[in-house]
Amino acid sequence: MTASCDVIVIGGGSGGSAFSKRAAGYGAKVVLVERGPSWNEQGQRTGAGPGGTCVNVGCVPKKLMFMAAAHREMMVGELATAKGYGFTVPEGAGKVQWEALQQRRDEYVKKLNKNYTAGWQKEGVEIVEGTAQFVDSSTVEVQRKDGSKTTLCGKKILIACGGIPDAPPIPGIEHAINSDGFFELKKQPKKVAVIGAGYIAVEMAGILHALGSETHLYFRGDTVLRRGFDPFIVKLLMEALEHHGPVLHRNSQPSRITKQSNGLLTYTATEGSNAEQKVYTDFDCILLAIGRKPVTDQLGLQKCGVLTNKSGHIVVDAFENTNVPGIYAIGDATSTGFELTPVAIAAGRRLADRLFLGEGRARIAYEQIATVVFSHPPIGCIGLTEPQAKAEFGEANVKVKQSSFASMLYAFNDDGKKVKTGLKLVLKMPEERVVGLHCIGPYSDEMMQGFAVAVRMGATRADFEASVAIHPTIAEEFVTFGGWGQEKNGDQVRAQLPPYLKPKPVLSDFATGAALGAAAAGVQAPGRGQPRIQPAGEPLAH
């Protein structure tokens, strides 16, 4: 029995870890319960441990694989640029040593696991290793791996338990892997089917294809990334995938997986308008990436009365409050709709600021969250898509500046094999405030963060164009879309002040009528629906 503490945190992932360190830094007595570790004594991966999904089976190992793929892409394959720049690429180059890569990647993750634990200890966070379940609204029981149990009492409790990959209930599902399984692959698949159309399917299919596996991507609609991404960006992504990516299978629903007598796998899908059963054979790997589900069903929430929605996500308001006073929730387990590491971290830190610093207004601005899809090529975006902006402000009050071109990276690809870069600004008229910024193409991932600051600060097109460009870069297009003299994209010549001389409207002028409401549940993430703009009169989120 541990003595009573100020706050019990369930889950040492992105959100729980950030909250715990910040709260302990303010002097709160924090007990962090984390299921971990990530590997068992036999060296087998057991899922997320210290650092959670991001560190163990998410962003970090995924980005390492993305970077491995980027190395190969430059050497060999349709979009290879190395030869054009004068490098000799020997016959047979580009064979990745999968096992060595996996080993280095896992060592890197294990180091991060240690850093997380050390970080908690340094801040004075008490760590209890085991699985937490509610006993009542202020008590939690923790079961350790050896079966022993500890009871913890907290004045407050934070739920930051995250989620796990979801699976469709189809026959033969046991033969498939999910994103966790991707990181356990001991050898590179020769022929792989990836099923899904979201971040994970697009990213993992891209990585596998770029690393040289024969990759097939099956999805239900006409395009991938259907929800929350700007149609201009999706169109360019689809063009890139069609010409240079995995084999695409549209309008395809998973139906069945069977094992062949030779050990390989057959994938059956229901396809097209007349629901034809199509059979695809000889896969050595089938990867399902059809979304994630929260692990709230394992918490015994009925004991404390915390409410979840239909999908099991904990219902929270914009301040991470659940319906039970003193119990809070952040990150992937919540109804906010944003399953992103920096969102979980920011929510955790702001919650700690509110609870232990007395900063009552601190909340995360869910309506202005930048995101990157590490697709091939990568995508970055923040704010509203063009259709979302038109729905929000009315068609006449939205102006768009967009352009697509081939990046200089492909200057020497004489065979014409290059992917298009696309940049788009969605402007709210008449002040031309940037309410959406979207890009696809090489380096889009690294380009986004600075623009996200500008959009967050309420930048207008005039602010963008008053910034002197950095040349030659891709990002410079965002600040040179066409100034006061002549506009690109066929616009009329404008006889008015250069944009950088226009008076800057005050932030409150930009407020829209959209009521954010008490619940962040209504605010939706790319891939989930429509984000909202800061409404008038709301305390400024930060």
Ligand X SMILES: NC(=O)c1ccc[n+]([C@@H]2O[C@H](COP(=O)([O-])OP(=O)(O)OC[C@H]3O[C@@H](n4cnc5c(N)ncnc54)[C@H](O)[C@@H]3O)[C@@H](O)[C@H]2O)c1
Q: Is 312 in the site for ligand FAD (CB under 6 A)?
A: no
Stretch that binds ligand X, among 261-269, 273-281, 300-308, 367-375 (CB under 6 A): 367-375
Backbone torsions φ then ψ of 276, nearest 5 degrees: -70, 140
User: What stretches of 211-278 show up as alpha helix (H) in DSSP?
Assistant: 231-244
Determine contact, residues 256/172, Cβ cutoff 8 Å: yes
If one asks whether residue 377 binds ligand X (CB under 6 A), the answer comes out as no
Can residue 527 be called a binding residue for ligand FAD (CB under 6 A)?
Answer: no
* 243, 244, 376, 471: the active-site residue: 471
Measured from the CB of residue 213, what is the shortest distance to ligand FAD in angstroms?
A: 17
Q: CA 256, CA 182: separation in Å to the nearest integer? A: 20
Question: What is the amino acid identity at position 307?
Answer: L
Residue nearest to ligand X (CB): 198
The residue among 255 and 371 lying less far from ligand FAD, judged by its C-beta, is 371
Considering only CA atoms, which of 5, 52, 9 is closest in space to residue 329? Answer: 9
192 within 8 A of 317, measured Cβ to Cβ: no
Q: Could you tell me where the DSSP H helices lie in 309-363? A: 341-356
Identify whether the C-beta of residue 224 lies closer than 8 Å to the C-beta of residue 241. Answer: yes
380 binds, among ligand X, ligand FAD, none (CB under 5 to 8 A by kind): none
H/E element, 386 = helix 386-393
Question: 471 catalytic, yes or no?
Answer: yes
Q: Does 340 bind ligand FAD (CB under 6 A)?
A: yes
The answer on whether 200 is annotated among ligand-binding residues is yes
> Toward ligand FAD, which CB reaches closer, 372 or 389?
372
Helix, strand, or coil (residue 112): helix
Q: Which of 116, 134, 199, 328 binds ligand X (CB under 6 A)?
A: 199
Task: Name which of 127 and 217 has its Cβ closer to ligand X.
Answer: 217
Local structure of 372: helix, strand or coil:
strand
Judged by CB under 6 A, the chain residues 250 through 269 that form the site for ligand X are 253-254
Contact partner, 162, from ligand X, ligand FAD, none, Cβ < 5-8 Å per class:
ligand FAD
* Number of CB atoms found within 10 A of residue 402's CB: 19
Stretch near ligand FAD under the rule CB under 6 A, chosen from 23-31, 51-59, 89-97, 411-419: 51-59
Site for ligand FAD in 129-148 (CB under 6 A): 131-132
Closest approach, Cβ 7 to ligand FAD, in A, equals 15
User: Which one of 331, 377, 378, 442 is in contact with ligand FAD (CB under 6 A)?
Assistant: 331
**Interface with ligand FAD includes 299 (CB under 6 A)?**
yes
Chain position carrying tokens 């309008």: 251
Tokens of 344: 């979980």
H/E element, 422 = strand 420-428
Q: Nearest 5 degrees, angle CA 347-CA 353-CA 356?
A: 130
Q: How far is the CB of 251 from ligand X (least distance, A)?
A: 11
Cβ neighbours of 8 (radius 10 Å): 29
Nearest to 526 by CA among 384, 395, 389, 427: 384
CB atoms within 10 A of CB 530: 20
C-alpha span between 65 and 204 (Å, rounded): 9
Instruction: Report the residue from 340, 344, 427, 455 that binds ligand X according to the rule CB under 6 A.
Output: 340
Strands 433-440 and 420-428: antiparallel
- Known binding residue 332? Answer is yes
Interface map 6-45 toward ligand FAD (x if CB under 6 A)? ----xxxxxxx----------------xxxx---------
Question: Catalytic residue positions?
Answer: 471
Residues making contact with ligand X (CB under 6 A): 168, 195-201, 203, 220, 253-254, 289-292, 339-340, 371-374, 527
Residues making contact with ligand FAD (CB under 6 A): 10-16, 33-36, 48-49, 52-54, 57-59, 62, 131-132, 160-162, 179, 200, 295, 298-299, 331-333, 339-342, 344
Specify binding-site residues for NAD(+).
196-203, 291
